[in-house]
Structures are given as structure tokens and as C-alpha cells.
Structure 1
């Protein structure tokens, strides 16, 4: 499954176009490597997604072309969630 589609179906990102923008901006790592939106995601892969001041590291549990909203979170397991803080003064 394409990376951008996985992010959308799993509801980690609201829209597929936004998922593509995340990948193009280098904010998504697939197994530790910056990846394009067209990169292939497989079960067992690890994704690191940077949302502003937060980074979410997940492992892919299963893939589905479409899924109910309530079951979307079952597609992945959260390994770590990091909050980034900027302590610099202006």
C-alpha cells in the first residue's frame, strides 16, 4: 500500500493530499529513511511522523484498502510519542 494512502486510511492524517505534502516535506520516515508518498508500506514497517511540535513513531499492524473509523487505530501500534520543545529566547 502507498504511504500516503496508509496515512489517510489509518486516519493518522486527515486527507491524502496532506499525507503527500508531509512525505514531500520530509516529515515522514519509513524504517528510518525519508520516503516519498508513493513508497510501499508493509506490515511490520515503522513510521515516524512529525506533526509540528510532536513526533509519533508507530508500527504497521495490518493493511486495508478501507476501514471503519472505529477500527482505523487497529492498523498501527504507537511505539513512542515525543513532544518537541523550543527553549530558545527571542
Structure 2
């Protein structure tokens, strides 16, 4: 399944077009590298999505075979971490 479709089905991003745009803008990464919207995801893949105020890291647990209910969408991934970017001091970094 394409990562933009997976993001929509899991409701990490509400609309596929928004998920595609997030990928195109480099907000979605795997192993520290930006991914294209058409990148296939598989069970066990880990990726992160970064918004202006936070970063969410997830692991893919299941790939749905069609539309997914809101309840089921939360079982498709495991939340590995959430970083509130506003908590990082402005002078933090190299």
C-alpha cells in the first residue's frame, strides 16, 4: 500500500491529498530520509511524520485491504514516540 493511502486509512493525516503534500514537502521520513507519496509500506516499516509543533514516530502493524473504520484504524500502527517540538530549546542542535 502507498504511504499516502496508509496515512489516510490510519487517520494520521485526514485526507490523501494532504498526505501526498506532506510527503512532497519532506514531512514524512523513513530512516531519516524523505519518502515519496507512492512509497510502498509493509508490516514492520517505521516512519515519522513531522508537523510544525510535533513529530510522531510509528511502526506499521497491519496493511488494510480497503476502507477502515475509525476504531480499526488505530490498530494498524504502533505509536513509538511523540516529540513536542515546541519543548526543544531554540539553541538546541549542532
Instruction: Tell me whether the two structures share a fold, i.e. TM-score over 0.5.
Output: yes
Q: Which residue matches 1:27?
A: 27
SS of the aligned residue for 2:57 comes to strand
Number of equivalences: 88
Q: Which residue matches 1:84?
A: 85
Give structure 1 stretches of 5+ with no counterpart: none
Give structure 2 stretches of 5+ with no counterpart: none
TM score, norm. by length of structure 2 = 0.87
Distance in 2 between the 1:31 and 1:5 partners? 20
Deviations 1:12-44 (A, max 9, x none): 001000000000000001233210000010000
Distance in 1 between the 2:38 and 2:55 partners? 21
Q: Which residues of 2 match residues 6-85 of structure 1 at below 5 A?
A: 6-64=6-64, 65-85=66-86
Distance in 2 between the 1:17 and 1:25 partners? 12
Superposition RMSD on alpha carbons, in Å?
1.3
TM score, norm. by length of structure 1 = 0.91
